[in-house]
Structure 1
Amino acid sequence: MTMHVPTMSLREFDDAQRRMPPGLAGRTQRMRACATRAAWCGCCGAARRLLRLCFAAVRHGDGEIAEMLVTEAEHYLGSGRHPVNCPQAPPRPATRGGRAPAQGRVPGWTGLPGALGAATDASWKRGTCGIGYVVGDGRWGMRGWTFGPQDPTGPRRVLVSELRAVGLLLDRVEDDRDLVLLVDSLSALRYLRAWRRGDTGLMPDGYDLRPRRSGAAPSLVRLARRVVGRPGLRMEYVKGHSGHPLNETADSLASIARRRVTETFDSTARAEGLVEAFLHAWHRTGGIAA
Protein backbone atom coordinates (compact mmCIF):
# COMPACT_ATOMS: atom_id res chain seq x y z
CA MET A 1 0.00 0.00 0.00
CA THR A 2 1.39 3.40 -1.02
CA MET A 3 1.43 6.00 1.74
CA HIS A 4 -0.28 9.22 0.71
CA VAL A 5 1.93 12.25 1.24
CA PRO A 6 0.00 15.55 1.03
CA THR A 7 1.10 18.04 -1.58
CA MET A 8 2.56 21.39 -0.60
CA SER A 9 0.86 24.68 -1.28
CA LEU A 10 2.63 26.92 -3.78
CA ARG A 11 3.44 29.37 -0.99
CA GLU A 12 4.92 26.62 1.20
CA PHE A 13 7.10 25.38 -1.65
CA ASP A 14 8.25 28.86 -2.66
CA ASP A 15 9.08 29.78 0.95
CA ALA A 16 11.19 26.64 1.27
CA GLN A 17 12.88 27.34 -2.07
CA ARG A 18 14.03 30.75 -0.88
CA ARG A 19 16.02 29.07 1.91
CA MET A 20 17.73 26.55 -0.37
CA PRO A 21 21.47 26.95 -1.02
CA PRO A 22 22.32 27.79 -4.66
CA GLY A 23 23.68 24.33 -5.37
CA LEU A 24 20.38 22.66 -4.49
CA ALA A 25 17.79 25.28 -5.42
CA GLY A 26 17.82 24.45 -9.13
CA ARG A 27 17.42 20.74 -8.47
CA THR A 28 14.50 21.14 -6.07
CA GLN A 29 12.83 23.71 -8.36
CA ARG A 30 12.59 21.01 -11.02
CA MET A 31 10.46 19.03 -8.54
CA ARG A 32 7.84 21.78 -8.23
CA ALA A 33 5.09 19.76 -9.94
CA CYS A 34 5.86 16.74 -7.76
CA ALA A 35 5.70 18.88 -4.63
CA THR A 36 2.56 20.88 -5.41
CA ARG A 37 0.42 18.95 -7.91
CA ALA A 38 1.16 15.22 -8.30
CA ALA A 39 -1.13 14.21 -5.45
CA TRP A 40 -1.85 10.60 -6.41
CA CYS A 41 1.39 9.52 -8.07
CA GLY A 42 3.11 6.93 -5.88
CA CYS A 43 6.69 7.69 -6.88
CA CYS A 44 6.02 11.43 -6.59
CA GLY A 45 4.64 10.82 -3.10
CA ALA A 46 7.87 9.09 -2.08
CA ALA A 47 9.93 11.88 -3.63
CA ARG A 48 7.73 14.51 -1.97
CA ARG A 49 8.37 12.96 1.45
CA LEU A 50 12.11 13.13 0.79
CA LEU A 51 11.75 16.71 -0.42
CA ARG A 52 10.01 17.72 2.81
CA LEU A 53 12.84 16.13 4.78
CA CYS A 54 15.33 17.98 2.58
CA PHE A 55 13.67 21.32 3.31
CA ALA A 56 13.73 20.50 7.03
CA ALA A 57 17.44 19.61 6.84
CA VAL A 58 18.20 22.97 5.23
CA ARG A 59 16.28 24.78 7.97
CA HIS A 60 18.49 23.03 10.52
CA GLY A 61 21.68 23.81 8.62
CA ASP A 62 22.48 20.25 7.53
CA GLY A 63 23.38 20.75 3.87
CA GLU A 64 25.03 17.33 3.46
CA ILE A 65 21.88 15.47 4.50
CA ALA A 66 19.77 17.79 2.32
CA GLU A 67 21.84 16.95 -0.76
CA MET A 68 21.56 13.23 -0.06
CA LEU A 69 17.77 13.53 0.24
CA VAL A 70 17.50 15.49 -3.03
CA THR A 71 19.55 12.83 -4.82
CA GLU A 72 17.25 10.11 -3.52
CA ALA A 73 14.15 12.08 -4.54
CA GLU A 74 15.58 12.53 -8.05
CA HIS A 75 16.08 8.77 -8.25
CA TYR A 76 12.42 8.11 -7.44
CA LEU A 77 11.24 10.65 -10.00
CA GLY A 78 13.56 9.45 -12.74
CA SER A 79 13.11 5.70 -12.36
CA GLY A 80 9.60 5.36 -10.94
CA ARG A 81 6.43 4.55 -12.90
CA HIS A 82 4.32 7.67 -13.16
CA PRO A 83 0.63 7.64 -14.13
CA VAL A 84 -0.06 8.85 -17.65
CA ASN A 85 -1.37 12.22 -16.43
CA CYS A 86 1.32 12.83 -13.81
CA PRO A 87 2.66 16.40 -14.17
CA GLN A 88 6.13 15.31 -12.98
CA ALA A 89 6.51 12.41 -15.44
CA PRO A 90 9.81 12.47 -17.37
CA PRO A 91 9.57 14.27 -20.74
CA ARG A 92 8.14 12.25 -23.58
CA PRO A 93 10.46 11.61 -26.52
CA ALA A 94 10.59 14.61 -28.79
CA THR A 95 8.57 14.19 -31.95
CA ARG A 96 7.66 16.25 -34.96
CA GLY A 97 3.96 16.93 -34.68
CA GLY A 98 2.96 17.53 -38.29
CA ARG A 99 -0.74 18.18 -38.83
CA ALA A 100 -1.93 16.12 -35.87
CA PRO A 101 -3.71 18.24 -33.24
CA ALA A 102 -2.37 18.22 -29.69
CA GLN A 103 -4.55 18.96 -26.72
CA GLY A 104 -4.55 18.61 -22.97
CA ARG A 105 -5.84 19.94 -19.70
CA VAL A 106 -3.92 21.50 -16.84
CA PRO A 107 -5.57 20.45 -13.56
CA GLY A 108 -6.69 22.82 -10.85
CA TRP A 109 -9.46 24.92 -12.37
CA THR A 110 -12.35 22.56 -13.04
CA GLY A 111 -15.76 23.34 -11.62
CA LEU A 112 -15.36 27.11 -11.72
CA PRO A 113 -18.67 29.00 -11.54
CA GLY A 114 -19.96 31.37 -14.20
CA ALA A 115 -18.99 31.79 -17.82
CA LEU A 116 -15.75 30.29 -19.08
CA GLY A 117 -13.11 32.59 -20.55
CA ALA A 118 -11.22 31.42 -23.63
CA ALA A 119 -8.90 32.78 -26.30
CA THR A 120 -7.75 31.65 -29.74
CA ASP A 121 -4.98 32.76 -32.07
CA ALA A 122 -3.08 31.86 -35.22
CA SER A 123 0.56 32.13 -36.27
CA TRP A 124 1.61 32.15 -39.92
CA LYS A 125 5.12 32.21 -41.36
CA ARG A 126 6.55 31.18 -44.73
CA GLY A 127 3.71 28.91 -45.72
CA THR A 128 3.35 27.20 -42.35
CA CYS A 129 0.51 27.90 -39.95
CA GLY A 130 -0.22 27.13 -36.32
CA ILE A 131 -3.42 27.68 -34.38
CA GLY A 132 -4.06 27.43 -30.67
CA TYR A 133 -6.67 27.93 -27.97
CA VAL A 134 -6.84 28.00 -24.19
CA VAL A 135 -9.81 27.88 -21.81
CA GLY A 136 -9.85 29.24 -18.28
CA ASP A 137 -10.66 25.79 -16.87
CA GLY A 138 -7.29 24.45 -18.06
CA ARG A 139 -8.17 23.01 -21.46
CA TRP A 140 -5.84 23.83 -24.34
CA GLY A 141 -5.15 22.67 -27.87
CA MET A 142 -3.07 23.42 -30.95
CA ARG A 143 -2.58 22.27 -34.51
CA GLY A 144 -0.15 23.12 -37.30
CA TRP A 145 0.13 22.49 -41.03
CA THR A 146 1.90 23.62 -44.19
CA PHE A 147 -0.06 25.21 -47.01
CA GLY A 148 0.16 23.26 -50.27
CA PRO A 149 -0.82 24.08 -53.86
CA GLN A 150 -4.23 22.41 -53.43
CA ASP A 151 -5.02 24.10 -50.13
CA PRO A 152 -8.65 25.34 -50.11
CA THR A 153 -7.92 28.35 -47.90
CA GLY A 154 -7.74 30.96 -50.65
CA PRO A 155 -5.78 34.21 -50.55
CA ARG A 156 -6.86 35.31 -47.05
CA ARG A 157 -4.81 32.74 -45.22
CA VAL A 158 -4.27 34.67 -41.99
CA LEU A 159 -7.99 35.41 -41.60
CA VAL A 160 -9.01 31.82 -42.35
CA SER A 161 -6.42 30.53 -39.90
CA GLU A 162 -7.77 32.81 -37.16
CA LEU A 163 -11.25 31.41 -37.79
CA ARG A 164 -9.99 27.83 -37.86
CA ALA A 165 -8.52 28.41 -34.41
CA VAL A 166 -12.03 29.23 -33.16
CA GLY A 167 -13.28 26.05 -34.82
CA LEU A 168 -10.62 23.99 -33.05
CA LEU A 169 -11.77 25.46 -29.73
CA LEU A 170 -15.47 24.83 -30.29
CA ASP A 171 -14.76 21.27 -31.45
CA ARG A 172 -13.30 20.66 -27.98
CA VAL A 173 -15.56 22.79 -25.80
CA GLU A 174 -18.94 21.42 -26.73
CA ASP A 175 -20.69 21.78 -23.38
CA ASP A 176 -23.56 24.18 -22.83
CA ARG A 177 -21.77 26.57 -20.49
CA ASP A 178 -21.57 30.24 -21.41
CA LEU A 179 -18.27 31.02 -23.10
CA VAL A 180 -16.57 34.40 -23.47
CA LEU A 181 -14.22 34.12 -26.45
CA LEU A 182 -11.38 36.62 -26.85
CA VAL A 183 -10.18 37.20 -30.42
CA ASP A 184 -7.37 39.59 -31.38
CA SER A 185 -8.32 39.77 -35.08
CA LEU A 186 -10.98 42.35 -35.92
CA SER A 187 -11.47 40.78 -39.35
CA ALA A 188 -12.17 37.38 -37.83
CA LEU A 189 -14.48 38.95 -35.27
CA ARG A 190 -16.55 40.57 -38.03
CA TYR A 191 -17.17 37.17 -39.64
CA LEU A 192 -17.98 35.54 -36.31
CA ARG A 193 -20.51 38.24 -35.45
CA ALA A 194 -22.05 38.07 -38.92
CA TRP A 195 -22.51 34.32 -38.52
CA ARG A 196 -23.99 34.90 -35.10
CA ARG A 197 -26.60 37.16 -36.72
CA GLY A 198 -27.49 34.31 -39.09
CA ASP A 199 -25.46 35.31 -42.16
CA THR A 200 -23.78 31.91 -42.38
CA GLY A 201 -23.27 32.20 -46.14
CA LEU A 202 -20.67 34.94 -45.68
CA MET A 203 -17.20 33.47 -46.26
CA PRO A 204 -13.72 34.94 -46.87
CA ASP A 205 -12.95 35.73 -50.51
CA GLY A 206 -11.58 32.74 -52.39
CA TYR A 207 -12.39 30.18 -49.70
CA ASP A 208 -13.22 26.88 -51.40
CA LEU A 209 -16.75 25.81 -50.47
CA ARG A 210 -16.66 22.41 -52.15
CA PRO A 211 -17.01 19.36 -49.86
CA ARG A 212 -13.70 17.95 -48.70
CA ARG A 213 -12.35 14.53 -49.70
CA SER A 214 -14.03 12.94 -46.69
CA GLY A 215 -17.37 14.31 -47.85
CA ALA A 216 -17.56 16.70 -44.90
CA ALA A 217 -18.50 20.34 -45.27
CA PRO A 218 -15.60 22.83 -45.19
CA SER A 219 -14.41 23.70 -41.69
CA LEU A 220 -15.59 27.33 -41.83
CA VAL A 221 -19.05 26.24 -42.97
CA ARG A 222 -19.26 23.93 -39.98
CA LEU A 223 -17.94 26.69 -37.72
CA ALA A 224 -20.57 29.17 -38.94
CA ARG A 225 -23.32 26.68 -38.11
CA ARG A 226 -21.86 26.07 -34.68
CA VAL A 227 -21.59 29.78 -33.89
CA VAL A 228 -25.18 30.53 -34.84
CA GLY A 229 -26.36 27.53 -32.84
CA ARG A 230 -24.59 28.39 -29.60
CA PRO A 231 -26.52 31.11 -27.75
CA GLY A 232 -24.17 31.12 -24.76
CA LEU A 233 -21.18 32.19 -26.87
CA ARG A 234 -20.03 35.80 -26.47
CA MET A 235 -17.20 37.09 -28.64
CA GLU A 236 -15.04 40.05 -27.66
CA TYR A 237 -12.02 41.81 -29.09
CA VAL A 238 -8.73 41.84 -27.18
CA LYS A 239 -5.70 43.72 -28.42
CA GLY A 240 -2.92 41.31 -29.34
CA HIS A 241 0.34 41.39 -27.37
CA SER A 242 -1.22 43.65 -24.76
CA GLY A 243 -0.39 41.32 -21.88
CA HIS A 244 -3.76 39.61 -21.43
CA PRO A 245 -2.83 36.14 -20.07
CA LEU A 246 -5.38 34.19 -22.13
CA ASN A 247 -4.46 35.95 -25.37
CA GLU A 248 -0.74 35.56 -24.69
CA THR A 249 -1.26 31.85 -24.02
CA ALA A 250 -3.19 31.30 -27.26
CA ASP A 251 -0.54 33.25 -29.19
CA SER A 252 2.26 31.12 -27.72
CA LEU A 253 0.39 27.88 -28.43
CA ALA A 254 -0.12 28.92 -32.05
CA SER A 255 3.60 29.61 -32.39
CA ILE A 256 4.49 26.23 -30.86
CA ALA A 257 2.02 24.52 -33.21
CA ARG A 258 3.60 26.21 -36.24
CA ARG A 259 7.13 25.28 -35.16
CA ARG A 260 6.26 21.66 -34.39
CA VAL A 261 5.41 21.10 -38.07
CA THR A 262 9.05 21.51 -39.10
CA GLU A 263 11.04 21.18 -35.85
CA THR A 264 11.59 18.33 -33.42
CA PHE A 265 11.11 19.23 -29.76
CA ASP A 266 8.87 18.29 -26.84
CA SER A 267 6.06 20.61 -27.87
CA THR A 268 3.50 19.12 -25.49
CA ALA A 269 5.64 19.70 -22.41
CA ARG A 270 6.37 23.24 -23.60
CA ALA A 271 2.67 23.90 -24.11
CA GLU A 272 1.64 22.48 -20.74
CA GLY A 273 4.23 24.58 -18.92
CA LEU A 274 3.19 27.87 -20.46
CA VAL A 275 -0.54 27.14 -20.05
CA GLU A 276 -0.02 26.46 -16.36
CA ALA A 277 2.03 29.63 -15.87
CA PHE A 278 -0.34 31.94 -17.75
CA LEU A 279 -3.47 30.50 -16.13
CA HIS A 280 -1.97 31.06 -12.70
CA ALA A 281 -1.45 34.69 -13.69
CA TRP A 282 -4.96 35.01 -15.10
CA HIS A 283 -6.69 33.51 -12.08
CA ARG A 284 -4.69 35.77 -9.77
CA THR A 285 -6.46 38.70 -11.48
CA GLY A 286 -9.83 37.13 -10.74
CA GLY A 287 -10.21 35.40 -14.10
CA ILE A 288 -11.59 38.48 -15.83
CA ALA A 289 -12.11 37.64 -19.49
CA ALA A 290 -11.46 41.07 -20.91
Structure 2
Amino acid sequence: MINSPLRIDEFRAALELLPSDLARRAETLKLYATGRSNCPACGNVRDSVRLAFTAALFGDISAAERLLTTAERSAWLTSHATKCGRRGLRSVRNVPGNHGRVTGRWDAAGPLTAATDASWKNGVGGIGYITSQGSWGLRGWVTDHRDPTGTSKVLVSELRAVDLLLRAAGNPEVLLVDSLSALSFLRAWQRGDTELMPDGYDLRPRRRGAPSLVRLAEHVAEADGLVFQHVKGHSGHLLNEAADSLASIARRRVTERFDATGRATDLVSSFLSSWHQRPMAA
Protein backbone atom coordinates (compact mmCIF):
# COMPACT_ATOMS: atom_id res chain seq x y z
CA MET A 1 0.00 0.00 0.00
CA ILE A 2 1.64 3.21 -1.17
CA ASN A 3 0.01 5.28 1.57
CA SER A 4 1.75 3.39 4.38
CA PRO A 5 4.31 5.46 6.32
CA LEU A 6 8.03 5.07 5.82
CA ARG A 7 10.14 3.72 8.64
CA ILE A 8 12.69 6.17 10.03
CA ASP A 9 15.58 4.06 8.75
CA GLU A 10 13.98 3.93 5.28
CA PHE A 11 13.52 7.69 5.31
CA ARG A 12 17.12 8.35 6.35
CA ALA A 13 18.50 5.96 3.74
CA ALA A 14 16.38 7.57 1.02
CA LEU A 15 17.66 11.05 1.90
CA GLU A 16 21.13 9.88 0.86
CA LEU A 17 19.84 9.45 -2.70
CA LEU A 18 19.00 13.15 -3.04
CA PRO A 19 21.20 16.18 -3.69
CA SER A 20 21.74 18.27 -0.55
CA ASP A 21 19.16 20.94 -1.45
CA LEU A 22 16.43 18.36 -2.10
CA ALA A 23 17.40 16.37 0.98
CA ARG A 24 16.86 19.47 3.13
CA ARG A 25 13.40 19.94 1.61
CA ALA A 26 12.53 16.29 2.14
CA GLU A 27 13.71 16.49 5.77
CA THR A 28 11.04 19.11 6.53
CA LEU A 29 8.42 16.56 5.43
CA LYS A 30 9.66 13.79 7.72
CA LEU A 31 6.72 14.03 10.11
CA TYR A 32 4.29 13.45 7.27
CA ALA A 33 6.29 10.73 5.53
CA THR A 34 6.92 8.64 8.66
CA GLY A 35 3.75 9.30 10.68
CA ARG A 36 0.36 7.62 10.65
CA SER A 37 -2.66 9.79 9.94
CA ASN A 38 -6.10 9.35 8.39
CA CYS A 39 -5.91 12.88 7.00
CA PRO A 40 -6.14 12.75 3.15
CA ALA A 41 -3.71 15.65 2.73
CA CYS A 42 -1.12 13.92 4.93
CA GLY A 43 -1.63 10.77 2.88
CA ASN A 44 -0.92 12.73 -0.30
CA VAL A 45 2.32 13.98 1.24
CA ARG A 46 3.38 10.45 2.15
CA ASP A 47 2.61 9.23 -1.39
CA SER A 48 4.54 12.05 -3.05
CA VAL A 49 7.58 11.71 -0.79
CA ARG A 50 7.73 7.94 -1.33
CA LEU A 51 7.45 8.42 -5.11
CA ALA A 52 10.15 11.11 -4.99
CA PHE A 53 12.48 8.68 -3.23
CA THR A 54 11.65 6.00 -5.83
CA ALA A 55 12.45 8.43 -8.65
CA ALA A 56 15.78 9.27 -7.00
CA LEU A 57 16.55 5.56 -6.65
CA PHE A 58 16.29 5.26 -10.43
CA GLY A 59 18.36 8.38 -10.99
CA ASP A 60 15.54 10.69 -12.08
CA ILE A 61 16.33 13.70 -9.90
CA SER A 62 14.12 16.05 -11.91
CA ALA A 63 11.10 13.86 -11.21
CA ALA A 64 12.09 13.64 -7.56
CA GLU A 65 12.14 17.44 -7.34
CA ARG A 66 8.71 17.74 -8.97
CA LEU A 67 7.26 15.16 -6.58
CA LEU A 68 8.74 16.93 -3.55
CA THR A 69 7.13 20.15 -4.77
CA THR A 70 3.81 18.30 -4.94
CA ALA A 71 4.38 17.00 -1.41
CA GLU A 72 5.11 20.50 -0.13
CA ARG A 73 1.93 21.83 -1.67
CA SER A 74 -0.08 19.08 0.00
CA ALA A 75 1.60 19.82 3.32
CA TRP A 76 1.42 23.61 3.35
CA LEU A 77 -1.24 24.76 0.91
CA THR A 78 -4.12 22.27 1.05
CA SER A 79 -6.83 21.78 3.64
CA HIS A 80 -6.07 19.15 6.26
CA ALA A 81 -8.67 17.14 8.14
CA THR A 82 -10.17 18.65 11.29
CA LYS A 83 -7.91 18.04 14.28
CA CYS A 84 -5.17 16.74 12.01
CA GLY A 85 -2.77 19.17 13.69
CA ARG A 86 -0.06 18.69 11.09
CA ARG A 87 -0.54 21.66 8.84
CA GLY A 88 2.62 23.70 9.17
CA LEU A 89 4.55 21.04 11.12
CA ARG A 90 3.44 22.33 14.50
CA SER A 91 5.31 19.47 16.12
CA VAL A 92 8.39 17.57 15.02
CA ARG A 93 8.87 14.02 16.19
CA ASN A 94 11.25 13.75 19.18
CA VAL A 95 12.01 17.48 19.05
CA PRO A 96 10.50 19.64 21.82
CA GLY A 97 8.81 22.98 21.23
CA ASN A 98 6.52 24.37 18.54
CA HIS A 99 7.58 24.24 14.90
CA GLY A 100 6.02 25.49 11.70
CA ARG A 101 6.53 26.67 8.19
CA VAL A 102 5.11 29.58 6.26
CA THR A 103 4.79 29.67 2.51
CA GLY A 104 5.29 32.47 0.05
CA ARG A 105 7.06 33.34 -3.16
CA TRP A 106 10.42 32.93 -1.49
CA ASP A 107 13.43 33.51 -3.71
CA ALA A 108 15.09 30.12 -4.30
CA ALA A 109 18.40 31.75 -5.26
CA GLY A 110 21.25 32.02 -2.80
CA PRO A 111 22.20 29.75 0.10
CA LEU A 112 19.67 28.36 2.57
CA THR A 113 20.24 30.67 5.51
CA ALA A 114 19.07 30.28 9.11
CA ALA A 115 19.30 32.30 12.30
CA THR A 116 18.95 31.28 15.95
CA ASP A 117 18.68 33.20 19.20
CA ALA A 118 17.89 32.90 22.91
CA SER A 119 16.06 35.02 25.48
CA TRP A 120 16.34 34.97 29.30
CA LYS A 121 14.46 36.82 32.02
CA ASN A 122 13.70 36.03 35.67
CA GLY A 123 14.61 32.36 35.43
CA VAL A 124 12.58 31.75 32.28
CA GLY A 125 14.29 30.85 29.02
CA GLY A 126 13.26 30.85 25.38
CA ILE A 127 14.96 29.90 22.13
CA GLY A 128 13.97 30.30 18.50
CA TYR A 129 15.09 29.70 14.94
CA ILE A 130 14.05 30.72 11.41
CA THR A 131 15.20 29.68 7.95
CA SER A 132 15.07 31.63 4.71
CA GLN A 133 12.73 28.97 3.26
CA GLY A 134 10.07 29.57 5.91
CA SER A 135 10.70 26.98 8.62
CA TRP A 136 10.61 28.22 12.21
CA GLY A 137 10.57 26.89 15.74
CA LEU A 138 10.56 27.96 19.37
CA ARG A 139 10.76 26.48 22.84
CA GLY A 140 10.45 27.93 26.34
CA TRP A 141 11.05 26.57 29.85
CA VAL A 142 11.42 27.48 33.53
CA THR A 143 14.60 26.59 35.42
CA ASP A 144 14.55 24.64 38.66
CA HIS A 145 17.03 22.88 40.95
CA ARG A 146 17.41 20.06 38.43
CA ASP A 147 18.48 22.36 35.61
CA PRO A 148 21.76 21.02 34.17
CA THR A 149 22.67 24.29 32.46
CA GLY A 150 25.18 25.47 35.05
CA THR A 151 26.44 29.01 35.35
CA SER A 152 26.51 29.85 31.62
CA LYS A 153 22.75 30.01 31.10
CA VAL A 154 22.69 32.48 28.22
CA LEU A 155 25.54 30.77 26.35
CA VAL A 156 24.03 27.31 26.79
CA SER A 157 20.65 28.60 25.61
CA GLU A 158 22.22 30.11 22.48
CA LEU A 159 23.73 26.71 21.69
CA ARG A 160 20.47 24.92 22.46
CA ALA A 161 18.79 27.15 19.88
CA VAL A 162 21.24 25.86 17.28
CA ASP A 163 20.52 22.30 18.38
CA LEU A 164 16.77 22.91 18.04
CA LEU A 165 17.22 24.17 14.48
CA LEU A 166 19.46 21.33 13.33
CA ARG A 167 17.23 18.65 14.84
CA ALA A 168 13.96 20.06 13.53
CA ALA A 169 14.84 21.64 10.19
CA GLY A 170 18.10 20.02 9.14
CA ASN A 171 21.37 21.70 8.18
CA PRO A 172 21.28 25.09 6.45
CA GLU A 173 24.18 26.27 4.34
CA VAL A 174 24.73 29.38 6.48
CA LEU A 175 23.76 29.69 10.16
CA LEU A 176 23.75 33.15 11.72
CA VAL A 177 24.35 33.63 15.45
CA ASP A 178 24.72 36.89 17.37
CA SER A 179 26.70 35.41 20.29
CA LEU A 180 30.46 35.45 19.83
CA SER A 181 30.82 33.02 22.73
CA ALA A 182 28.46 30.54 21.11
CA LEU A 183 30.26 31.01 17.79
CA SER A 184 33.60 30.13 19.39
CA PHE A 185 32.19 26.83 20.68
CA LEU A 186 30.57 25.98 17.34
CA ARG A 187 33.78 26.58 15.44
CA ALA A 188 35.82 24.64 18.00
CA TRP A 189 33.47 21.69 17.55
CA GLN A 190 33.85 21.98 13.78
CA ARG A 191 37.60 21.60 14.29
CA GLY A 192 36.97 18.39 16.22
CA ASP A 193 37.30 19.70 19.78
CA THR A 194 34.01 18.14 20.81
CA GLU A 195 34.95 17.74 24.47
CA LEU A 196 34.94 21.51 24.98
CA MET A 197 31.80 22.52 26.91
CA PRO A 198 30.58 25.68 28.68
CA ASP A 199 31.65 26.06 32.31
CA GLY A 200 29.37 24.25 34.74
CA TYR A 201 27.41 22.34 32.09
CA ASP A 202 26.27 19.02 33.56
CA LEU A 203 27.55 16.14 31.41
CA ARG A 204 25.64 13.36 33.16
CA PRO A 205 23.47 11.30 30.76
CA ARG A 206 19.87 12.43 30.42
CA ARG A 207 16.81 10.19 30.40
CA ARG A 208 16.81 10.22 26.61
CA GLY A 209 20.53 9.80 26.08
CA ALA A 210 23.46 12.18 25.79
CA PRO A 211 23.16 15.83 26.90
CA SER A 212 21.94 18.11 24.12
CA LEU A 213 25.24 19.98 23.76
CA VAL A 214 27.24 16.75 23.57
CA ARG A 215 24.94 15.61 20.79
CA LEU A 216 25.19 19.01 19.11
CA ALA A 217 28.99 19.02 19.25
CA GLU A 218 29.13 15.64 17.50
CA HIS A 219 26.63 16.77 14.88
CA VAL A 220 28.55 19.96 14.12
CA ALA A 221 31.84 18.05 13.85
CA GLU A 222 30.33 15.80 11.19
CA ALA A 223 28.32 18.45 9.27
CA ASP A 224 30.24 19.10 6.08
CA GLY A 225 29.65 22.48 4.46
CA LEU A 226 27.83 24.09 7.38
CA VAL A 227 29.05 27.69 7.71
CA PHE A 228 28.60 29.66 10.93
CA GLN A 229 28.59 33.45 10.66
CA HIS A 230 28.36 36.17 13.30
CA VAL A 231 25.75 38.88 12.99
CA LYS A 232 25.53 41.77 15.42
CA GLY A 233 22.44 41.49 17.58
CA HIS A 234 19.75 44.20 17.41
CA SER A 235 21.39 45.70 14.34
CA GLY A 236 18.36 45.34 12.11
CA HIS A 237 19.37 42.10 10.40
CA LEU A 238 16.00 40.62 9.42
CA LEU A 239 16.63 36.95 10.15
CA ASN A 240 18.39 37.71 13.42
CA GLU A 241 15.59 40.02 14.52
CA ALA A 242 13.04 37.32 13.67
CA ALA A 243 14.93 34.68 15.66
CA ASP A 244 15.18 37.08 18.59
CA SER A 245 11.44 37.72 18.47
CA LEU A 246 10.67 33.99 18.31
CA ALA A 247 12.85 33.37 21.36
CA SER A 248 11.00 36.15 23.18
CA ILE A 249 7.63 34.65 22.24
CA ALA A 250 8.80 31.28 23.56
CA ARG A 251 9.93 32.79 26.87
CA ARG A 252 6.78 34.85 27.39
CA ARG A 253 4.49 31.95 26.47
CA VAL A 254 5.74 30.06 29.55
CA THR A 255 4.04 32.53 31.90
CA GLU A 256 1.42 34.20 29.66
CA ARG A 257 -1.59 32.88 27.74
CA PHE A 258 -1.67 33.74 24.04
CA ASP A 259 -1.56 32.02 20.63
CA ALA A 260 2.19 31.54 20.25
CA THR A 261 1.86 29.57 17.00
CA GLY A 262 -0.32 32.20 15.35
CA ARG A 263 1.88 35.04 16.50
CA ALA A 264 5.03 33.25 15.34
CA THR A 265 3.50 32.47 11.94
CA ASP A 266 2.52 36.11 11.35
CA LEU A 267 5.92 37.33 12.50
CA VAL A 268 7.87 34.93 10.28
CA SER A 269 5.70 35.77 7.26
CA SER A 270 6.37 39.47 7.74
CA PHE A 271 10.12 39.14 8.25
CA LEU A 272 10.61 36.72 5.35
CA SER A 273 8.62 38.91 2.97
CA SER A 274 11.05 41.72 3.75
CA TRP A 275 14.08 39.38 3.62
CA HIS A 276 13.30 38.16 0.12
CA GLN A 277 12.53 41.65 -1.17
CA ARG A 278 15.84 43.08 -0.03
CA PRO A 279 18.67 43.87 -2.49
CA MET A 280 20.84 40.76 -2.75
CA ALA A 281 23.89 42.73 -1.65
CA ALA A 282 22.21 43.58 1.68
Alignment of 1:58-137 (within 5 A): 83-84=79-80, 100-108=96-104, 112-137=108-133
Match of 2:163 among 143, 167, 189: 167
Partners of 1:143 and 1:167 in 2: how far apart? 12
Alignment of 1:19-58 (within 5 A): none
- Distance verdict in 2 for CA 1:146–1:158, change over 3 Å: same
How far 1:223 moved relative to its partner? Answer: 0.4
Residue 192 of structure 2 aligns to which amino acid in structure 1?
Answer: G
Does structure 1 conserve the Cα–Cα contact (< 8 Å) formed by 2:115 and 2:130? yes
- Whether the aligned pair in 1 keeps the contact of 2:129 and 2:136 (CA below 8 Å) is yes
**Mapped partners of 1:202, 1:183: distance in 2:** 19
Deviations 1:113-171 (A, max 9, x none): 44211100000000000000000000000000001101110010000000000000000
Within 2, Cα distance between the matches of 1:245 and 1:255?
Answer: 15
Give the drift of 1:213: 1.9
Give the 3 Å change call, closer, same or farther, for CA 285–110 of structure 1 in structure 2.
Answer: closer
Corresponding residue for residue 256 of structure 1: 249
Q: CA deviation at 1:179?
A: 1.4
Asked whether the 8 Å contact 2:107–2:276 carries over to 1, the reply is no
Deviations 1:35-63 (A, max 9, x none): xxxxxxxxxxxxxxxxxxxxxxxxxxxxx
Output the amino acid matched with 1:251. D
Cross-structure match for 1:235 = 228
Query: d(CA) in 2 for partners of 1:156 and 1:133?
Result: 20
Seen in structure 2, the aligned counterparts of structure 1 residues 163 and 126 have a Cα distance that, compared at 3 Å, is: same
Shift of 1:83: 2.6
Alignment CA distance shift 1:110-1:281 (3 Å): closer
Gaps of 5+ in 2: 1-77, 82-94
Cα 1:211–1:155 change in 2 (3 A) is same
Q: Give 1:148's match in structure 2, choosing from 144, 151, 154.
A: 144
Give the SS at the match of 1:239: coil
Runs in 1 of length 4+ with deviation above 6 angstroms?
none
Counterpart residue number, 1:201: 195
Distance 1:157 1:258 in 2: 14
Counterparts in 2 of 1:200 and 1:142: CA distance versus 1, 3 Å: same
Number of residue equivalences: 193
> TM-score, normalization: structure 1?
0.63
Q: Post-superposition shift, 1:109?
A: 5.1
Cα distance in structure 2, aligned partners of 1:252 and 1:108: 20
Q: Determine the C-alpha separation between the residues in 2 that align with 1:227 and 1:109.
A: 31
TM-score by length of 2: 0.65
Corresponding residue number in structure 2 for 1:157: 153
* 1:174 CA drift (Å): 2.2
8 Å Cα contact 1:182/1:237 also seen in 2: yes
